[in-house]
Amino acid sequence: MTYNNYKQIIRSGTLLDIVKDLTAQSGAKPTLRSCYYVLLDRKLIAPNKTAYDCLDKSLTDERDAGNFPYGLLAPEGGTSYHGLPIDRLEEYIEKIRNQNIEPVLIDGILTAVMVEKSGLVDTVYQAVGGQVPVASSGGMIRKEWACNWAHEMIELSHELGASGIEIIFLGDYDEGGQHIKRNNVDWFSWHFGIDVDVYAVTRDQAIEAGYPDGLHIDGYIAVARTPEVFARELCEYLGLERET
């Protein structure tokens, strides 16, 4: 396969195999950037500033040409609301009831995970077995959203009888990610008295993984740890039991 031949990577089925593998490991749809890091790790594309954008554009072209299906990757951004036909409402409520898992308190504390990328919410939620709340601001600093979410966590902590709240942050190690971290870590503590613990990606983690100039949380999960190892390590760090 030609190095950096993005369309060939897609047409050959290489990208599809990566998507299937990451989905099987995590139990959730991967982000395109997660797949990108796997391609980097396999040395099928070059680690330059335009590589991800070229892959993204090539995928768009190949999807529209019918060479790669939509719906296999985690959507990032966008929101929709709609009602349900009355005859489906009871079925939907029963399904939600059966899937509901009451949040687990860890040493009496309500622990919540905040992940920078909205496309990774399902992956992280599966990693913790749905035992703690998982949320995302969608890769940006959204104080109005953060305020509403903090109030939801405060209300939930009161309902569960928690003695406090802690947020575990997962974000990129790059200029933008560091800016988001700084704003969130200080802001939640200042406004709500909620401690924020940065779990990943740290400078040391990026260097250890071989990406000293920057590592996205997608790549940390998909390549630096792998989804299975990430899930196990995160649960151990949080003190959660995890089904194997």
**Residue spans per domain, the chain:** 6-64, 96-238
Q: What are 43's two structure tokens?
A: 């040395």
pLDDT tens for each residue of 10-20: 999 999 999 99
Q: Where are the alpha helices (DSSP H) in the chain?
A: 6-11, 14-26, 32-41, 51-64, 86-99, 121-127, 143-160, 175-192, 203-208, 217-219, 227-238
For residue 243, give Cα distances in angstroms to 19, 126, 127, 150, 234. 23, 11, 10, 29, 13
Architecture in CATH of 96-238: 3-Layer(aba) Sandwich (3.40)
Q: Are 133 and 113 in contact (CB under 8 A)?
A: yes
Phi, psi angle pair for 112, to nearest 5°: -125, 145
Structure confidence at residue 141 as a pLDDT band (50, 70, 90): low
pLDDT tens for each residue of 20-76: 999 999 999 999 999 999 999 999 998 888 899 999 999 999 999 999 999 999 987
Q: What is the predicted pLDDT for the residue at 3?
A: 47
Calculate the average pLDDT of the chain. Answer: 90
> Taking the model in full, what pTM does it have?
0.88
